[in-house]
Amino acid sequence: MVTWGALLHFLIILSLPLFSKSVYHEESSELKTEAGDLNLRCIDIERNALLKFSEGLIDPFGQLASWVGIDCCRWKGVHCRNQTGHVVKLNLRAVSYSSRLGGKISPSLLDLKYLKYLDLSMNDFQGIPIPDFFGSFERMRYLNLSCASFSGIVPPHLGNLSNLRYLDLLAYSNPYDYIGSNWVSDLNWVSGLTSLKYLDLGYINLSLETNWLQALNTLPSLSELYLYYCGLQNIPPSPLNLNFTSLSVLDLSYNHFNSLPQWLFNISSLATLRLSSCYMKPSISKAAWEDLCHLQALDLSYNEIAGDISDLIGALSRCSNHSIEMLKLWNSHMSGQLPESLGFLKNLRFLHLDENLITGPIPESIGKLSKLNYFGLAENQLNGTIPESVGKLTELTELCLYKNSWGGVLSQKHMEGLRKLEYFSVSSSNEAFSINLSDEWVPPFSLRFIEIDSYPLGPKFPTWLKTQKQLDSIILTNVSVSGTIPHWLKKLCPQIQRLDLSYNQLGGMLPDSLAFPGYTRVIVDFSFNRLSGQIPLWPNVTHLILANNLFSGSIPTNIGQVMLRLNILDLSGNLLNDSIPLSISDMVYLQRLDLSNNLLYGEIHEKWRNLQEIRVIDLSRNNLSGNIPNSICSMPNLFWLKLSSNSLSGELSSLKNCTSLSALDLGGNEFSGNIPQWIGESLLSLVVLSIRANMFYGNIPEKLCHLYNLHILDLADNNLSGSIPSCLDNFSSLSSWTPYSPYSHYSYWNYVFIPQMVLVVKGLPIMYTLTLYLVKAIDLSRNNLRGDIPEEITHLSTLGSLNLSWNQLTGKIPDSIGSLKQLEALDLSHNNLSGPIPLSLTSITSLSKLNVSYNNLSGKIPSTNQFQTFNDPSIYEGNPGLWGSPLQTPCLTINKGKVEGCEAKDYDNDEDDTLPYYISLVLGFGIGFWVVFGSLVMKRSWRHAYFRFLDRVADCLYIFIKLNMAHLQRMMSKE
Ligand SMILES: *[C@@H]1O[C@H](CO)[C@@H](O)[C@H](O)[C@H]1NC(C)=O
Ligand SMILES: *[C@@H]1O[C@H](CO)[C@@H](O)[C@H](O)[C@H]1NC(C)=O
Ligand SMILES: *[C@@H]1O[C@H](CO)[C@@H](O)[C@H](O)[C@H]1NC(C)=O
């Protein structure tokens, strides 16, 4: 199981094959010389073999249309040997969506006795196994079956291909499927491939292979080895004898090693070593870095290396050959300062140190890295200056300096020589930092991407930006610009992929006719400004985020027809009124609709059936009335539905078929009736359920206890009666540790959801995003619940908040309440509970909020552990029998139930003070939602680094993106 986080990491941590001298080229050039003569003659038996093969294939787009006529040597993808006419090469790699083949692979191919080269990569064989007979091509030198949706067991028969030089079985098949290869293999068969130079087994599950190194050590000619995402668990601390004398590329990323053995650094032939995301927490001695002089590329990203960056760079700077060209330690817990010796790494082209703990300045010597192309220091703690020598980096195309604490000035001098700069980002949390770029400045570069945030550039837009005619991504958030959108910016819109001007003071109306390009993603975010007037209609935009402005009037009725491409529509927090336009149902690509916090009224219409892609709907905080329409459940992917704080009424039966729902918030409406039994039968995916502040009555149905995944249950503020069901301990997610987010199954390759929930903790809203799945709460307050607090509730060992206040509960607080070891907030106030405060409560060290006021509790208030910090007497008041600190009067005598001398002073507190919602779920949840590629764009340089430094998987993925883009464009043009 892979969390979305890991997924994202995976997407992002990509590296470059620039340094791999691929044997592939060798092979193909050799073959090229054999083909190409127009006077070739095709051999009959081979032509028939090809025809039979093509009959088995599914070729929906006519890729093999040229496979007719007598001379098969002229057929597309078929190459014959010049002198003999034998087919030697078959290249059917799919290069576009419409060239993907599927179907069966006929054994007739074996008649191609001279076949040396077979490439079926990127096709879609829909899970059929690799044919066993592939192991019988005696002359085969090149076999590429990567990314072609084969599955099953790798046939060991492949081990017979003793002439094979190149084998690519990268099992990653479809970015739109859930990650995970179903190819399983051991490595015993590999030892037969004695000529092998290139081996890629990425994504093949090798977790059962206990000695992968020994198996591969029999391949002395191996030059490139890719074993990423293979589930490898162990790496020998010290292999006896390594046969790898020509190994130049080793990629072991995304496995699960605990250590980083020194021998990996000692393979002297190695030029590229990739070990990112291997869960390593190595203790690397300073001396270990001294052995890296043979490396050109080193990637240790996403491991807890926790070294001092100056040790590593210092050691590399002492290598006389200056071989290092790429250094990637993204998110590796590196600390320390960048040393002056950085300047000696004169061949460095790619330096990626984002997301570490590096402090200090950038050394002056940076200016000597004349080949530096990518320089990433984002999200560190650099607190010194940016030297002007940065301006000498004439080859630099990307400079990522955001999220640091830069001091000093950034001026034109810093940018003087950056002729090739295309991607630039900077931000500083340090007020002492200033950006000093004059309005008259004409930069030497032409940027495509700029991001400056949280710096007061305004109130005007910087004039020099007008000179940047190639910009396609402009992110100027929280930079204090005001006024209307300038003319030059409007002129750039036809090339914009991302325009984010959120958190500024922009005002006025938006032009209704801005032209945006027909890219797959066009993201426009103007949220948190002062824009007013009508919602604009911009046809090509895919993500329109206008939240928290002053837009008014009705949502244009034709919005769905004009903005047909929308994936995300967020108009929340405006002054929009009238009803929800019917045409929204025409936005067939819509994934998230947020119209919350407006003045919308009328009924929720019935037309939801077309929205087959939608995941998230938030219509909360409006004046919507009427029932929930039945069609709301016709959206198969809907998992987050929020309708709270409206005037909706009726019963809930229309939600019965919404089986995909994970979160349902109906709080603050006028729903009534019993809580339906079927919620516990149909909505089994529910993680969050809130129906607070409605008019539900009757018992809490036992069936609710079947919602095993539930981790937030909020039934507060209704008229529920009866007792608290004792089966609440069925909520297994509340009684066990959930290592993974329950949302992880929404982490497809194309969509990453980041659910967010605002919880109000003592009056302060706190946004939970990634940790939302850790929030576990039950709120049954403000009902008429009677009877005891069931002992079973204390089995919910991971519960974080329990609120049972304002009911009529009786009996004692269960002694075992101390088993709620994770409890942070407990409110039992305003009930009729009696007996003492159980001493076991003092063992809950996480408890920070407690209220037991207005019960009939008695005895001494515990005074150990957390209780020492509960100094506010109001949390105990209204319990005549309770005494001890912090109540003013220690009560020693109780006389016929009447307490003497211990009246608490002040009984007429304002209700808000006694209102014990330390954690109030009423505000429910909003959702942040990103599309992976959107987020790559959003994450500034990632996108760029991502596309430019493609690794093997990225290569695959990139092609899939292209495939699907083409597909989408075709679909769009058809419409
Ligand atoms: C094909 O063979 C002919 C004659 O054997 C030779 O002249 C020609 O250069 C060859 N073509 C290629 C591309 O090798
Ligand atoms: C090195 O490879 C040869 C086969 O080429 C094999 O016989 C030998 O055992 C290998 N050495 C080790 C240490 O595995
Ligand atoms: C930068 O941070 C380090 C470590 O926190 C500190 O020792 C140093 O004085 C700071 N330098 C500046 C210029 O603020």
pLDDT at 845 > cutoff 50: yes
Give distance in angstroms: CA of 554 to centre of ligand 1.
74
Q: How far apart are CA 1 and CA 744, in angstroms?
A: 8
Q: Is the beta carbon of 28 within 6 A of some atom in ligand 1?
A: no
* Averaged confidence pLDDT in the chain: 81
SS3 string, 94-149, reads CCCHHHCCEECCCHHHHHCCCCCEEECCCCCCCCCCCCHHHHHCCCCCEEECCCCC
Q: Which residue has the tokens 């935009």?
A: 541
Nearest ligand for residue 85 CA: 1
Give distance in angstroms: CA of 674 to centre of ligand 2.
74
What is the reported pTM?
Answer: 0.75
pLDDT tens digit string along 917-958?
223 332 233 222 222 222 222 333 333 333 333 344 444 444
Distances (CA, A) of 638 to 515, 664, 665: 31, 10, 13
CA angle 661/662/668 to nearest 5° reads 85
pLDDT at 363 > cutoff 90: yes
Q: Which residue has the tokens 């009803």?
A: 579
Structurally, at CATH architecture level, domain 1-232 sits in Alpha-Beta Horseshoe (3.80)
Count of alpha carbons within 13 angstroms of residue 647, beta-carbon side: 9
Give distance in angstroms: CA of 15 to centre of ligand 3.
32
Going by alpha carbons, the residue nearest to atom 8 of ligand 2 is 218
Q: Tell me what the mean pLDDT of segment 66-77 comes to.
A: 92
Q: Which atom of ligand 2 lies nearest, measured to the CA of 217?
A: 14
Q: pLDDT-derived band of residue 182, with 50, 70 and 90 as boundaries?
A: low
Nearest ligand for residue 408 CA: 3
Least confident of 118-127, 655-664, 675-684, 759-768: 759-768
Q: Which atom of ligand 1 lies nearest, measured to the CA of 36?
A: 13
Q: How far apart are CA 828 and CA 504, in angstroms?
A: 44
Q: Which residue has the tokens 């081996």?
A: 199
Q: Tell me what the mean pLDDT of segment 311-319 comes to.
A: 95
Q: pLDDT-derived band of residue 745, with 50, 70 and 90 as boundaries?
A: very low
**Is the peptide bond prior to 459 cis by the omega test (within 30 degrees of 0)?**
yes
Q: Is the beta carbon of 30 within 6 A of some atom in ligand 1?
A: no
Give distance in angstroms: CA of 33 to centre of ligand 1.
8
Going by alpha carbons, the residue nearest to atom 13 of ligand 3 is 384
Give distance in angstroms: CA of 326 to centre of ligand 3.
28
The pLDDT assigned to 39 comes to 56
Give distance in angstroms: CA of 361 to centre of ligand 3.
9
Core vs surface per residue 508-537: b (16+ CB within 10 A) or e: eebeeebebeebbbbbbbbbbbebbeebbb
pLDDT tens digit string along 876-917?
999 988 988 888 755 444 444 443 333 333 323 333 332 222
pLDDT at 649 > cutoff 70: yes
Q: How far apart are CA 440 and CA 31, in angstroms?
A: 57
Q: Is the beta carbon of 37 within 6 A of some atom in ligand 1?
A: yes
Q: pLDDT-derived band of residue 774, with 50, 70 and 90 as boundaries?
A: low
The pLDDT assigned to 99 comes to 79
Q: Which atom of ligand 1 lies nearest, measured to the CA of 34?
A: 14
The pLDDT assigned to 734 comes to 58
CA angle 747/752/756 to nearest 5° reads 110
Task: Give the mutation target among 359, 362, 382, 429 for probing the ligand 3 site: most ligand atoms within 8 A of CB.
Answer: 359
Nearest ligand for residue 217 CA: 2
Q: Any residues with Cβ below 6 Å from ligand 2, and which? A: 217-218, 220, 241, 243
Q: pLDDT-derived band of residue 447, with 50, 70 and 90 as boundaries?
A: very high
Give distance in angstroms: CA of 275 to centre of ligand 2.
25
Q: How far apart are CA 597 and CA 527, in angstroms?
A: 14
Tell me the range of 180-189, 239-248, 748-757, 895-904 where mean pLDDT is highest: 239-248
CA angle 728/734/737 to nearest 5° reads 150
pLDDT at 835 > cutoff 70: yes
Q: How far apart are CA 300 and CA 298, in angstroms?
A: 7
pLDDT tens digit string along 669-722?
999 999 999 999 999 888 889 999 999 999 999 999 998 888 789 999 999 999
The pLDDT assigned to 834 comes to 95
Give distance in angstroms: CA of 336 to centre of ligand 3.
11
Pair type for strands 550-554 and 575-578? parallel
Q: Tell me what the mean pLDDT of segment 116-140 comes to.
A: 92
Task: Give the closest residue to 165 by CA, choosing from 117, 198, 116.
Answer: 198
Q: Tell me what the mean pLDDT of segment 308-319 comes to.
A: 95
Give distance in angstroms: CA of 94 to centre of ligand 1.
29
Q: Is the beta carbon of 973 within 6 A of some atom in ligand 1?
A: no
Tell me the range of 115-129, 333-347, 672-686, 937-951 where mean pLDDT is highest: 333-347
Burial bucket for residue 896 (CB in 10 Å: 0-12, 13-18, 19+): exposed
Q: Which pair of structure tokens corresponds to residue 809?
A: 């509960």
The pLDDT assigned to 889 comes to 56
Give distance in angstroms: CA of 311 to centre of ligand 3.
19
Nearest ligand for residue 236 CA: 2
The pLDDT assigned to 890 comes to 54
Q: In the 8-state DSSP scheme, what is residue 268?
A: T
Q: pLDDT-derived band of residue 615, with 50, 70 and 90 as boundaries?
A: confident
Q: How far apart are CA 75 and CA 42, in angstroms?
A: 10
pLDDT tens digit string along 498-551?
999 999 999 999 998 889 998 888 999 999 999 999 999 999 999 999 999 999
The pLDDT assigned to 231 comes to 83
Q: pLDDT-derived band of residue 283, with 50, 70 and 90 as boundaries?
A: confident
Q: How far apart are CA 351 and CA 329, in angstroms?
A: 8
Going by alpha carbons, the residue nearest to atom 14 of ligand 3 is 383
pLDDT tens digit string along 454-474?
899 989 999 999 999 999 999
The pLDDT assigned to 830 comes to 96
Q: Tell me what the mean pLDDT of segment 47-69 comes to.
A: 93
Going by alpha carbons, the residue nearest to atom 2 of ligand 2 is 218
pLDDT at 959 > cutoff 50: no
Nearest ligand for residue 36 CA: 1
Contacts of 381 (CB under 8 A, 6+ apart): 357, 358, 359, 404, 405
| Percent of the chain clearing pLDDT 70 (strictly above) | 81
Instruction: Provide the 3-class DSSP secondary structure of residue 891.
Output: coil
Q: Quickly count helices (H) and strands (E) in the chain.
A: 14, 59
Task: Give the mutation target among 28, 29, 33, 37 for probing the ligand 1 site: most ligand atoms within 8 A of CB.
Answer: 37
pLDDT tens digit string along 262-278?
889 989 999 999 998 88
Give distance in angstroms: CA of 184 to centre of ligand 2.
25
Q: Which residue has the tokens 């057929």?
A: 75
Q: Tell me what the mean pLDDT of segment 344-369 comes to.
A: 96
Q: Which residue type occupies 891?
A: C
Give distance in angstroms: CA of 419 to centre of ligand 3.
32
Q: What is the DSSP string of 196-220?
A: --EEE-TT-B-TT-S-HHHHHTT-T
Q: Which atom of ligand 2 lies nearest, measured to the CA of 243?
A: 1
